[in-house]
Structure 1
Amino acid sequence: MKIVVRHGLWLAGLILAGTVFAADDGDWPNYGRDPGGMRYSPLKQIDRDNVTQLQVAWTFHLGDIADGKHDTPRSGLETTPIMVDGTLFLTTPFNRVIALDPITGKQRWAYDPKLDPHHDYGDGLINRGVATWLDDARKAGQPCRRRLYEATLDARLIALDAATGQPCADFGKSGEVSLTNVPGFSAGEYHMTSPPVVVDGVVVVGSSINDNNRVDMPSGVVRGYDARSGALRWAWDPIARHPAKGWKSGAANAWSVMATDEARGLVFVPTGSASPDYYGGLRPGDNRWANSVVALHAKTGKLAWGFQLVHHDLWDYDTASPPLLTTLQRDGRDVPVVVQGNKTGFLYVLDRDSGKPVFPVEERPVPPSDVPGELTSPTQPIPTTLPALGPQSLAAADVWGPRPEDREACRQAMHGRDSSRVFTPPSVQGGVAVPGNIGGMNWSGYAFDPSRQLLIVNVTALPFELKLIPEAEYAKATKGDSHGGEFAPQHGTPYGLYRRALLSPSHLPCSPPPWGTLVGVDLAAGKIRWQVPLGSLQVLAPAIKDLPPGSPSLGGPIVTAGGLAFVAGTLDPFLRAFDLDSGKELWKAQLPASAHATPMTYEANGRQYVVIAAGGSAKITEEPQSDAIVAYALPDQDSPP
């Protein structure tokens, strides 16, 4: 594929990213568009002046919905399509891969891997998309010259011919490789939700692992497979195991989206928490490399460097956001960096070659645990110049609620504590985690405009109530909750877990609004340029008038050369466009359901489209479901009035 340069800014932006990316500038060939995940498109047909004219160009219905009944988990629609070789490719909650005509939205082919939907897949039936690779050793028209790779919920890595949707017979066994050969594998609780990545002829895949079931959950091993044959090249385990010392753990898995740097031969991997999430007495120490971003050599899987964002995690503070690769201007020179956010709300900018912080980070003291057997890390790595992007404390005096009884219930849920702040450990007394385990920043991630040096991030502000329950009291405690909270046994530890979003009887957050924001961060200056509420929770409380704005969100932003950020993700069912310079909301369109997915944009036949998957949530059972992929475009000038 040749480089087509129609916009000089596009080429400059990708040089800044450290990789000249060979793709037509109207394509979207990776989950984050470029391999480094900037989510920046050079397209500018849709801009700040005409975005209000956007209208639905086409809608495609997948046909795959599960409502959580009939012994199957509930489905959610989190796919982000890719656009390459004139075709859109996307996945369904049942792991079907579908190819669409980008102009009409009509199906060209579909592949069904025959997923067994009856296992407990943790967060429900979801998949975020596919990766692609062009085999230069094959001539145009030969089967599987362009390949698609999907990692499935039942732990298979599948390679398909992008032209036909047929499995690539030379990959593994009849086009697929089993991913079940890991220590502690259990069907369902070990699965895949995010797309793999391909770099230097190697397909790299992580895993998703259910939280808090027991101490010794499956291994969070990251693996690299030959892109052509499917042969295993390497495996890397994020955490060391010392069973002789009585240490027990697992997970620390890479369940989110990875980034690659072909020039350096590196893959950048965000890792999650070691098991179980809320008690670490059987996994002493920092638990490296859990809760980290690591750079692995793509050919060998060997560690180039790692940076841990949370030591000895007790809050489910996964490194959920995908790493983002770009280049910043610092002290008159170009510095290739990795931008990495965390559920804590902290943002880290690291040198891409060494992993050392570009903006200062200090180890600062944090509260100790009062739980017998628990030894917390005395310090945590805190950025000292980059501001936190969301609230990190809550005082009992500051709880919010529309009625006095709401505020009193919120104070009661703090279990007698005057306040709580980030890194306050869980306890038997009970308390509040600020932020909660959905962030801060989650897998939604961020987008980067290289010309403005501006990072766009959607941030959630939703504390969670936490309480450790002694093992002898756990069975009784599970029968006494009236708040719809979540119990988890944490088998093998002395404590089970209770947690819930800190909501009042009015079903609204106890923390002061806004409960979700869109933030523009000037990474050249290391400052927040603007911050605006994102979305609304009116759908949860329709009878309450003058409800403050802001909604938790899952599903990230993209940015374009038209000066726009597009983002959905909120509990209210809208796709929105914001002005990159001011943060002003310029446009929104109502969707068939909330869109907990990241949009994408492409050009086809001279027309720019913006596409979003709008299917509702697999976890929020009150939300309506849909199976819609919706494309927006400006009015077609060739169409009759």
Structure 2
Amino acid sequence: MKYLVSWITVLLCFCPVMAPAQTTQPQEWPAYGNDAGGMRFSPLKQINAENVKQLRVAWTFRTGELEHYKGTDAAEKAAFEATPLMVDGTLFFTTPTTRVFAIDAATGTKKWDYNPEVYLRQDLSEVTSRGVSIWPAPTDKTNANTPKRVFVPTLDGRLIALDAKTGQPIASFGKAGMVDLRQGVGNISVTSPPAIIGNTVVVGSSMGDNQRFNYDRGVVRAYDALTGKLRWSWDPIPRSEKDPGANTWKGSSATQTGAANAWSVLSADAERDLVFIPTTSPSPDYYGGERLGQNLYASSIVAIRASTGKVVWSFQTVHHDLWDYDNAAQPLLFMFNQNGKPVPAVAVGTKMGHVFILHRETGVPLLPVEERRVPASNVPGEEAYPTQPFPVSLPALGLHKVEAWGATTEEKASAQKRISGLQYNGIFTPPSLQGSIIAPSNVGGMNWSGMCYDPESGFLIANVNRIAAVIRLLPREGLAVAVKDDQELLRSETGFQAGTPYVLKRSYLFTKNEQGISMQTPPPWGTLAAIDLKKGTLAWEVPLGFMYDPGKYPQARQWGALNLGGAIATAGGLVFVAGSVDGHFRAFKTGDGSLQWEVPLPAGGQATPMTYQVKGKQYVVISAGGHGKLGTKLGDYVVAYELP
């Protein structure tokens, strides 16, 4: 998918305030979401709402990544989405091409780097990496004194184990430090860090899944952290009549369908020996005639016994997915207060803007969920599932009502004309031959940006997109004639969906003009929202970023922006988030969502930040390297902020 956006940077000035005293004990960030369950909460409060305006750049590290794109088309797809880890005073992170860096957490000085030499001229759906994982996990007492390893999943389908001290491959792991994940599976990539649970490393996969229906298998696999030996493999799509869930797949070609993979971040609960897998849509995303039925375990959250690979429970967020409603967010593990008692829970944030709260051990909803009737499909060969699950007691986030909008009278009239020619019957409107409005779109609601949880306030916090997609299916026969004189179709993204009767054309309800972008649905287009889980209400929701020039449109800062890259919460009463296409890094007050701090980044900040304390000082760090598909400024920066 391609987004055409414009951005502007704004410089802010601020004055010094003294920081409060705090313990000098180190406070690490040892996993993608800080803890293995992805709460993305830090107990640090040296930086707080009273002094955050005084944050300044502590150091900036340059990776030299842009040089690696030369001579290839990698820059068109490249996105610096990595969240660094901090362990033993060292930051570990990957670049979009999976180069690995270890730098000093206090100074930003490089300790070592490792280049897996990914060949960038191969067919890669994405050029990104959200980071690495460290073994052993902090809670692993058995291996507490074992030298640490850095596990690196690569774009070309390898799992590499590096010595955390030296950056050299561990010779005893796999074959010279590497396991080939493509062997027996196909042309997969890995863009998210694996889950670490005991001596087991669990890894998913990424793939482009709209070019044919019989895509590669979306298997999830577990490897021995010491030897690299395969422990188990799990395919979310049943391949035989005896497999669980096989009766939910109908049609002679159902077992040939691919994907339903887990490309996002996995979560682990070592105490319960569970790993939580967010699965995606089967291939292709927008036509399911080759895979009729409910399609378990696709588009689901699946809890797997980490020691055996056996499914413990599953919860399907979308039946027979026709909307590219992948479970893109990391499942968030936390303790939910139910009737005054803490209950182990998993929060599931979706592209539809729905939030499901499930019992971590059983998958049973802790808050009510009901099946509701949704629109039927009129595409020959398709059968949309008649109902979909809806959370009853929590607010839905994202765009759930489509109306025409424009910055001028002419732009609004153009938007109205376009919308009136498309099918739209609310959420879960299926794709059509006429063209359907999909809202929320495949961008979200919530995307891989995911959620964070502040246990002190009980707020579940997420950055949200509010942009509609337009999906049209074109009969394969006569395709050239259909698009010949249709400029909108020519500009739209194409998914060939080989093996099906239809070709996909995907666009969004905005257009490009001389000024940049012209939105066709009302703002805000991007927000930061907090759900109060104690009350089941929306605590607050504020615009995040801007897409129009504030100098020309004074209200632009209230209109929000498309965003990718999540938020973190701290005990200092702050939520830190970048993500928005305007290229700024911001801090909001957890209690009311008020903006406390805002600075321009040297490149797009489409990554989730992190924070840690070393040598008595708290730092907040963000990767700023831009996003080729979003059109934000590319770069190669890792920036750390500190108090004076």
Q: Give the alignment's TM-score, normalised by structure 1.
A: 0.91
Q: Which structure 2 segments of 5+ residues have no match?
A: 1-21, 241-249
Q: What amino acid does structure 1 have at the position aligned with 2:365?
A: P
Q: Does 1:270 align with 2:268?
A: no
User: Residues of 2 paired with 1:155 and 1:464: CA distance?
Assistant: 30
Q: 1:497 to 1:68 in 2, by over 3 A?
A: farther
Q: Does 1:224 align with 2:222?
A: yes
Q: What amino acid does structure 1 have at the position aligned with 2:54?
A: Q
Match of 1:40 in 2: 41
- Give how far 1:473 is off: 2.8
Q: What amino acid does structure 2 have at the position aligned with 1:339?
A: A
Match of 1:154 in 2: 156
User: Residues of 1 paired with 2:526 and 2:446: CA distance?
Assistant: 10
Q: What amino acid does structure 1 have at the position aligned with 2:231?
A: R
User: Residues of 1 paired with 2:143 and 2:463: CA distance?
Assistant: 42
Contact kept in structure 2, 1:559 and 1:565, CA below 8 Å: yes
Q: Return structure 1 stretches of 4+ with deviation > 6 angstroms.
A: 66-69, 135-139
Match of 1:471 in 2: 476
Contact kept in structure 2, 1:401 and 1:504, CA below 8 Å: no
Q: What amino acid does structure 2 have at the position aligned with 1:435?
A: P
Once the two structures are superposed, what CA deviation does each residue of 1:80-117 show, in whole Å capped at 9, x if it has no partner? 00001111101011211100001110100001111111
Q: Does 1:192 align with 2:190?
A: yes
User: Residues of 2 paired with 1:68 and 1:317: CA distance?
Assistant: 31
Contact kept in structure 2, 1:25 and 1:41, CA below 8 Å: no
Once the two structures are superposed, the pairs formed by residues 300-315 of structure 1 within 5 Å of their partners are: 300-315=308-323
Contact kept in structure 2, 1:346 and 1:388, CA below 8 Å: yes
Once the two structures are superposed, the pairs formed by residues 448-597 of structure 1 within 5 Å of their partners are: 448-477=453-482, 479-480=484-485, 482-483=487-488, 484-506=491-513, 507-538=517-548, 543-547=552-556, 548-597=558-607
Q: Which structure 1 segments of 5+ residues have no match?
A: 1-8, 11-23, 636-641
Q: What amino acid does structure 1 have at the position aligned with 2:495?
A: A
- Which structure ranks higher in relative contact order (CA pairs < 8 Å, sequence separation ≥ 6)? 2
Q: 1:473 to 1:65 in 2, by over 3 A?
A: farther
SS in 2 for 1:414: helix
- The farther-off stretch of 481-490 and 85-94 is 481-490
Contact kept in structure 1, 2:581 and 2:630, CA below 8 Å: no
Count of residue correspondences: 601
Question: Identity of paired residues, percent?
Answer: 48
Once the two structures are superposed, what CA deviation does each residue of 1:472-525 show, in whole Å capped at 9, x if it has no partner? 133344554535320111000000011112104552321110001101111122
RMSD of the alignment, in Å? Answer: 2.0
- Give how far 1:418 is off: 7.3
Once the two structures are superposed, the pairs formed by residues 342-361 of structure 1 within 5 Å of their partners are: 342-361=350-369
Contact kept in structure 2, 1:25 and 1:43, CA below 8 Å: no
Match of 1:372 in 2: 380
Once the two structures are superposed, what CA deviation does each residue of 1:231-279 show, in whole Å capped at 9, x if it has no partner? 0000001111369823231000000001100000000110111000000
Contact kept in structure 2, 1:414 and 1:465, CA below 8 Å: no
User: Residues of 2 paired with 1:139 and 1:432: CA distance?
Assistant: 53
User: Residues of 2 paired with 1:237 and 1:27: CA distance?
Assistant: 34
Contact kept in structure 1, 2:39 and 2:334, CA below 8 Å: yes
Q: Does 1:245 align with 2:252?
A: yes
SS in 1 for 2:414: helix
Match of 1:284 in 2: 292
User: Residues of 2 paired with 1:320 and 1:244: CA distance?
Assistant: 27
Once the two structures are superposed, what CA deviation does each residue of 1:39-84 show, in whole Å capped at 9, x if it has no partner? 0001100000000000000000011127977333222111100001
Partner of residue 394 from structure 2, selected from 359, 382, 386: 386
Partner of residue 328 from structure 1, selected from 336, 350, 354: 336
- Give how far 1:420 is off: 3.8
Contact kept in structure 2, 1:269 and 1:293, CA below 8 Å: yes
Q: Give the alignment's TM-score, normalised by structure 2.
A: 0.90
Contact kept in structure 2, 1:615 and 1:628, CA below 8 Å: yes
User: Residues of 2 paired with 1:137 and 1:524: CA distance?
Assistant: 37
User: Residues of 2 paired with 1:85 and 1:68: CA distance?
Assistant: 32
Q: 1:53 to 1:586 in 2, by over 3 A?
A: same
Q: What amino acid does structure 1 have at the position aligned with 2:374?
A: V
Match of 1:639 in 2: none
Contact kept in structure 1, 2:423 and 2:432, CA below 8 Å: no
Contact kept in structure 2, 1:200 and 1:299, CA below 8 Å: no
- Give how far 1:436 is off: 1.0
User: Residues of 2 paired with 1:509 and 1:280: CA distance?
Assistant: 30
Q: What amino acid does structure 2 have at the position aligned with 1:167?
A: P
SS in 2 for 1:538: coil
Q: 1:214 to 1:30 in 2, by over 3 A?
A: same
Match of 1:85 in 2: 88
Once the two structures are superposed, what CA deviation does each residue of 1:258-311 show, in whole Å capped at 9, x if it has no partner? 110000000011011100000000001111111111100101111010000000
User: Residues of 2 paired with 1:494 and 1:69: CA distance?
Assistant: 38
Once the two structures are superposed, the pairs formed by residues 34-183 of structure 1 within 5 Å of their partners are: 34-65=35-66, 70-74=71-75, 75-123=78-126, 125-134=127-136, 145-183=147-185
SS in 2 for 1:393: coil
Once the two structures are superposed, what CA deviation does each residue of 1:333-363 show, in whole Å capped at 9, x if it has no partner? 1111000011001110000011011110001
Contact kept in structure 2, 1:415 and 1:430, CA below 8 Å: no
- Give how far 1:411 is off: 2.5
- The farther-off stretch of 157-166 and 245-254 is 245-254
Match of 1:215 in 2: 213
Q: 1:551 to 1:600 in 2, by over 3 A?
A: same
SS in 2 for 1:168: coil
Q: What amino acid does structure 2 have at the position aligned with 1:334?
A: P
User: Residues of 2 paired with 1:614 and 1:329: CA distance?
Assistant: 37
User: Residues of 2 paired with 1:605 and 1:246: CA distance?
Assistant: 60
